[in-house]
Amino acid sequence: MLNHPVQFFTVLILFAFSFSSCKKSEITPDPPALSITINPALVTLQNEFSYLGKRLTANIENAQPDESLEIVWSSENPRIASVKEDGTVWPEAAGETYILATLVSGKGVAKCKVVVTDANDYKFRLVLRDKGTSSLSIANPTAFLSAKAIARRQKQNIAIDESDLPISPAYLKAIQDIGGTIVAKSKWLNTVSVNCTDEFLIDKYKALPFVKDVLLVWEGGRTVTSTPAKYVDAPQAVANHSSTTHFDYGSASTNITVNNGKVLHELGFKGAGIDIAVIDAGFINLKNNAAFKNVNIKGAKSFVYENDDPYAVDTHGIWVTSTMAVNIPRTYVGTAPEANYWLLRTEDQSSEYPIEEDYWVNAAEYADSVGVDIINSSLYYTDAYYFVNARYKFEDMDGKTAFATRGANVAADKGILIVNCAGNDRTWVGTPADAPNVLTVGSVNSRLNIDAFTSWGVTVDGRMKPDILAMGGGANVINTSGIAENRSGTSYASPIMCGLAACLWQAYPTLTNKQLLEIIRKSGDRAATPEVPYGNGIADMQKAMNLAKAMTR
């Protein structure tokens, strides 16, 4: 009872203290918080216009007089958008990211969303560690090679091995599941090439356990926006064999005379039974060209992703094929008028990127699988790629480094004779012309002088290119209207010689492709003392026949 007054007094003191501590006059307001914003808060850039950036500005409010206003610009993902010290943001790749403006003091940070759009497609070459496994076996080659391809190997004692097996379907499915479209494959070189709209799929491709490396081999504007009508091939089978052995070659007379090719025709060897694949840039409207109505065409195929019709574009393949295949006596007769032809398009004339080598190797493998004997390639690749780091240097021309060269080496090991133009750059030959087992052809004119445009040189490993020379300066070709005209380039020297090689192989069918190659080299008029820029000189088919006869004897 005696304690009650004391307790009441204590409560009054506490209450009074509490009341006095809440006096309004003693509240000190906090200063306004420092804030930083970016203007604009959202930026959209187009990657195809990489030269168009956007300047960002940082707005700082409520900074104290002694505070530093210095900021640092950064990007959350520099692979999508980069930013300079002055706040200018630049597109790098399609995607979304944020640009940050951070006060050096650490008291504030602002974000600006950046969206980079892209109208481009990308093509990547996936280099595989191996091909994986499938249900196919070299014990049953008819499942993946034609009877003619098998017969070529048997005739030349070439074993069917693991390189003939296709890439594992499980590998292909895993690649497709990531996204993109497979546009080329090489079972010889263990590669798969894909087209995609998202360049950051490269990270997912690299993460596949069976992928060793991924290379960008093409980029460009998106041209395939919908699924185009599929090209359906229609072979042209004709009866093009005759007993005629003496021709009025018409305007094509000089083409064959330079290499003394008439001796083969006069003995009845006009290429019958030999299958020639023409790997080229396109064969526009060839089937509707009256000059080709007597040409036996076993098949045609385009390996260019954007257009699968081999007859849709480009005149170059018309000019090239005509020098071998056209058979119109008294008007124009090519060097192998009775051969069979496969027309394969690999060149994308709209651009110059390494993907064309993927197409080339894919076409060579296709040619092998259907049983082709000879490939003519009036194409070559050197230092003209749009990607600077993909351009070849002279040091790369060692016969084993360039992608197309490696494919050509395997094709030669499968028993195919490859005839390739030397090029028109007046310098070292490109790929696949640098391959040791490719017959590389330079150009001479009707006066038998070497043409100044012919590429030539000694390869890194000491081999001389071109191997031999044929008519290319002022060569006569058939144009898209079916009319003869003159054109110049090693592009025409190559098929003229290719046709003669077909006739020579018909005459001596027991030769291997590499024996045939060596014979044609030795038939040159400078074979005893080869020298640049001539190589072994102008090939002579009479001399080649003599050499072949001696070898087969």
Average pLDDT, the chain: 93
DSSP secondary structure, 168-229, as one string: PHHHHHHHHHHSSEEEEEETTTTEEEEEES-TTHHHHHHHSTTEEEEEEEEEEE----S-PP
The answer on pLDDT for 107 being more than 90 is no
Question: Is pLDDT at 398 greater than 70 in this prediction?
Answer: yes
Burial 302-326 (b: 16+ CB within 10 A, else e): bbbbbbbbbbebbbbbbbbbbbbbb
pLDDT digits (tens, 9 = 90+) for 403-426: 999 999 999 999 999 999 999 999
Among 410, 432, 425, which residue's Cα sits nearest to residue 356?
Answer: 432
**Residue 541 has what pLDDT?**
98
Checking if the pLDDT of 350 tops 60, the result is: yes
Phi, psi (deg, nearest 5) at residue 376: -105, 130
- Listed in sequence order, the residues at least 6 apart from 466 whose beta carbon sits closer than 8 Å to its beta carbon are 422, 429, 433, 440, 441, 442, 454, 455, 456, 490, 533, 535
- High-pLDDT (> 70) share of the chain, %: 94
Higher pLDDT, 553 or 477: 477
| Region 126-131 average pLDDT | 97
- Taking CA atoms, 190 is separated from 195, 373, 403, in Å, by 17, 23, 11
Distance CA 255, CA 249 (A): 9
Q: How confident is the model at residue 5 (pLDDT cuts 50, 70, 90)?
A: very low
Tell me what pLDDT residue 6 has. Answer: 44
Q: Does residue 379 contact residue 444 with C-beta atoms inside 8 Å?
A: no
Domains of the chain (ranges, CATH numbers): 35-117 (2.60.40.1080), 120-221 (no CATH), 253-552 (3.40.50.200)
Mean pLDDT (whole number) for 434-442: 98
Residue 9's pLDDT band (cuts 50, 70, 90) = very low
pLDDT above 70 for 377:
yes
How much is the average pLDDT of 465-490? 98
Structure tokens at 337: 């008028």
pLDDT tens column, 160-213: 999 999 999 999 999 999 999 999 999 999 999 999 998 999 999 999 999 999
Question: If pLDDT is split at 50, 70 and 90, which confidence band does 17 have?
Answer: very low
8 Å CB contact between 442 and 466: yes
- How many residues make up the chain in this entry? 553
| Arithmetic mean of pLDDT, 277-303 | 98
pTM listed for this prediction: 0.88
What is the distance between the alpha carbons of residues 518 and 25, in angstroms, rounded to a whole number?
108
Nearest in space to 420 (alpha carbons), one of 320, 340, 505: 320
The answer to whether 438 and 379 are in contact (CB under 8 A) is no
Q: What is the pLDDT of residue 227?
A: 64
Which one has a higher pLDDT value, 4 or 26?
26
Q: What is the pLDDT of residue 26?
A: 61
**For residue 51, is pLDDT > 70?**
yes
pLDDT in the model for residue 64: 79
Cα gap 378→390, rounded to integer Å: 21
Predicted confidence at residue 226, as pLDDT, reads 60
pLDDT at 33: 80
Query: Would the pLDDT of 23 be above 80?
Result: no
Query: Is it the case that residue 456 has pLDDT exceeding 80?
Result: yes
Bridge partners, residue 124, by sequence: 194, 216
* Residue 225 pLDDT level (bands cut at 50, 70, 90): low
pLDDT for the residue numbered 18: 45
**Tens digit of pLDDT for each residue in 523-551?**
999 999 999 999 999 999 999 999 999 99
β-pairing, 417-421 vs 181-186, is unpaired
Residues ≥6 apart with Cβ < 8 Å to 342: 275, 276, 277, 278, 297, 298, 299, 300, 301, 367, 370, 372
- The Cα–Cα gap between 478 and 411 comes to 29
Structure tokens at 302: 């385009």
What pLDDT band is residue 22 in, cutting at 50, 70 and 90? very low
Quick one: which of 218, 272, 222 has its CA closest to 244?
272
| Cα–Cα distance, 110 to 325 (Å, whole number) | 70
In the block, residue with structure tokens 């950046």: 114
Task: Give the integer Cα–Cα distance in Å for 79 and 99.
Answer: 12
What is the mean predicted confidence (pLDDT) over 343-367? 97
State residue 106's pLDDT score: 83
